[in-house]
Chains A and B, each alone.
Chain A
Amino acid sequence: MSPSLHPLNPVYLADIFEAGGESLLRDVVATFLDDAPRRLRALHEGLEGGDWSGAALSAHALVSGSSMLGLAGVASAARRVEHVLAERRRPPAPDLAALDAALGEAGTTLARAVEGLVTGRGNAP
């Protein structure tokens, strides 16, 4: 992840909250946190098994879900991995590590943002 890239653009979660309230917000965040580890595991299994297409699909799903929630850090890291996989090359270890790290922080980042929105305190870290 780029050091200058903030992990979360709060506009997306705020829009979701406005559109569907707390239940939709918590639902989509829980959906992402449930799905993302499976995608990451599938990505690594794809790499180990030489299944570049499968790994790229997993990376793409991570890009989709994270970007829809405004998780800019995860989306950027996953996009970088996806682009390398699209060329049927193994992503560099630092790129994979950056994705692992960004996803590792996503739960805390999202939880803080959700609580900020539902309690009306904003979502600044």
Chain B
Amino acid sequence: MTGTPPASGVRRILLAEDDPVTARLVVHRLSREPGITVLHAADGGTAMSIVEREDLAAAILDIRLPVLDGLAILTALRKSERHRGLPVVMLTSLGSEADVIRGFELGADDYIVKPFSPAELMARLRRLLDRE
């Protein structure tokens, strides 16, 4: 799967984030972009259900998540024929450099450290979507 807009013109972005404040801010910023719909999952299990069900253009994954963490979701994406090329941005916390390294080893395209500017996240995401 790639970030190419489908015939409907809507790009679906998975946001796997259990903190409601971060999720609210990200959804608010991304939803202002024409043609982008955010599918929010508050735990890794729900995120995987969305992955299986939806045509995604990109994924934003928090690393620390209930049920299944972001690195496990990333691993599943990269093993999947369908989602191998899906652009993925990881959300990490300050002082979690080991997570960043592990994320890149597993195939993440980019990462951003909390606290972050939702506008910066959108800019990073746009770069990945335009690359596809």
Query: A57 in the interface, Cβ–Cβ < 8 Å?
Result: yes
Residues of A within 8 A of B102 (CB): none
Residues of A within 8 A of B79 (CB): none
Segment of A16-24, A88-96, A97-105, A112-120 in the binding face: A16-24
A31-B20 in contact (CB<8A): yes
B118-A64 in contact (CB<8A): no
Interface string of A45-82 (1 = CB under 8 A from B): 00000000000110011011101111000010001000
B21-A19 in contact (CB<8A): no
Inter-chain residue pair count (beta carbon < 8 A): 62
In the complex, what residue of chain B is closest to A69 when comparing beta carbons? B21
Q: How far is the CB of A7 from chain B (nearest CB, A)?
A: 15
- Please report the total number of B residues contacting A with Cβ < 8 Å: 23
- Please report the total number of A residues contacting B with Cβ < 8 Å: 25
Query: A87 in the interface, Cβ–Cβ < 8 Å?
Result: no
B66-A64 in contact (CB<8A): no
Residues of B within 8 A of A65 (CB): 19-22
- Interface SS, A side: helix
Partner of A24, one of B18, B28, B115, B116: B28
Where the two chains meet, the residues of B that have a C-beta atom closer than 8 Å to any C-beta of A are 17-22, 24-25, 28-29, 62, 64-66, 93-95, 114-119
Where the two chains meet, the residues of A that have a C-beta atom closer than 8 Å to any C-beta of B are 12, 15-16, 19-20, 24, 27-28, 31-32, 35, 56-57, 60-61, 63-65, 67-70, 75, 79, 83
16 contacts between A and B (CB under 8 A): A12-B115, A19-B119, A20-B28, A24-B28, A56-B64, A57-B18, A57-B66, A64-B17, A65-B19, A65-B22, A67-B94, A67-B114, A68-B116, A70-B115, A79-B95, A83-B95
